[in-house]
Amino acid sequence: MKIEKSEQLFSNAQKYIPGGVNSPVRAFKSVGGNPLFIEKGYGSKIVDVDGNEYVEYIGSWGPHLFGHNPSFIKEALLQAIENGTSFGAPTAIEVEMAKLFTSLIPSCEMVRMVNSGTEATMSAVRAARGYTEREKIIKFEGCYHGHADFFLIKAGSGALTFGVPTSPGVTKGNAADTLIADFNDIDSVKDLVAQNKNEIAAIIIEPIAGNMGVVPSSDSFIKELRAICDEEGIVLIFDEVMTGFRVAKGGAQQVLGVTPDLSTFGKIIGGGLPVGAFGGKKEIMQKISPAGPVYQAGTLSGNPLAMAAGYAALKHIHDNPQVYDELEEKAVYLENGFKKNLKELGKNFAMTRVGSMSCMFLTEEEVTDFNSAVKSDTELYGKYFHEMLNRGVYLAPAQFEAMFISTAHSYEDLDKTITAHLESLKAIL
């Protein structure tokens, strides 16, 4: 496999772009080696600048539910671009998008479009603080909500301590307002709530975590979390930037049967273009400017291109709900193939899956939270990643990321992946 052009581009990129990439995980630092530069994508495949083709399972980190460059999204974009790219003024497609979106996500009585998942989660927390007139929030170790300051906090040195910054540039003040609980551990939440009575504005969670691998909330945990928020007047925020329209038409909240007060979205709702959204109860959303005093704005929010692509994606979901049956069947097929391989090799690596999101952890312990996830052998994963890449299968260049299946993946693609999986594991074990 020749990667000469990718190597040259990466060398040049490092002269002008920090680390040579515009988002850290793209740099391959957790798996070793240098990143591939992609030239085009179609269906389930991507092609790098050296002409190498791969069956890939990143899907731009989740948005490509229907594979790369589906015709109905491309057509919507071409039509929209004829009229202009951005106006900084309201357009009809924004209204159509909001109407369709709120019909698909019943918990969102109103929605505000933004430009990224980070912007969505940041704004949702601000809305919750403005609504409750409280300042502190609870997040969970291992859940990722973008790179706003108050999210870049890790657990403190002892149980139930204040969090500490994980990045230079994040202030101690931000850390002091962010409390860290343990995922799937309701007692850790109860203790924090008791220690900070009437001070917590919101609890934000990935109801199905996708940034420590794929780790779903347990049924009892997520339902008790809802009950605590009701009892204490705390706004429950579901971060569905990754899971929204990915694990089900109604997202993780449909799968888990729990209704949040606010939700955040991104990825699929932009049809592959930059986008984000937050929505929820009308009484909270009407606190957002200009209806209310909580300020939030964006020059390119609801821009016609993202709205056209996103509307095409959601309309396709609305008109073809059977896509989730297809995704489930393909995901089960791939999961069973991997499990058969592991059995043949005498390995019991932890595997998790919800709908078309899955993860194989290179640990034989059950994974239910951050502490169990990080027991995975990341060095071994790096070797596995490169063995799969050499066999024409492009996975996430990090152990703690999801594997995404699209409707464009054929059973031929899945069989190729299952064979590559077995051969790659044999090569490294």
The string of pLDDT tens digits covering residues 302-337 is 999 999 999 999 999 999 999 999 999 999 999 999
pLDDT value for 170: 85
Q: How far apart are CA 317 and CA 270, in angstroms?
A: 13
Q: Is residue 239 among the annotated active site residues?
A: yes
Return all residues near 361 (Cβ < 8 A) that are at least 6 apart: 213, 349, 350, 351, 352, 367, 373, 376, 399
The arrangement of secondary structure in 4-69+322-428, i.e. its CATH architecture, is Alpha-Beta Complex (3.90)
Domain ranges of the chain: 4-69+322-428, 71-319
Among 57, 131, 144, 394, the active-site one is 144
Among 267, 287, 330, 383, the active-site one is 267
Return all residues near 322 (Cβ < 8 A) that are at least 6 apart: none
Per DSSP (E only), the strands in 103-194 are: 110-114, 136-140, 153-154, 164-165, 178-181
Q: Is residue 330 among the annotated active site residues?
A: no
71-319 carries CATH number 3.40.190.170? no
Tokens 């990129």 correspond to what residue?
13
Q: How far apart are CA 206 and CA 211, in angstroms?
A: 9
Instruction: List, in sequence order, every residue forming a beta bridge with 238; answer none if it has no partner.
Output: 205, 263
Among 48, 177, 182, 239, the active-site one is 239
pLDDT value for 155: 63
Cα Dmax for the chain: 61
SS3 of 414, please?
helix
Q: Is residue 394 among the annotated active site residues?
A: no
CB atoms within 10 A of CB 25: 18
Ranges of H-type helices in 133-171: none
Residue ranges in the chain whose pLDDT is less than 70: 155-163
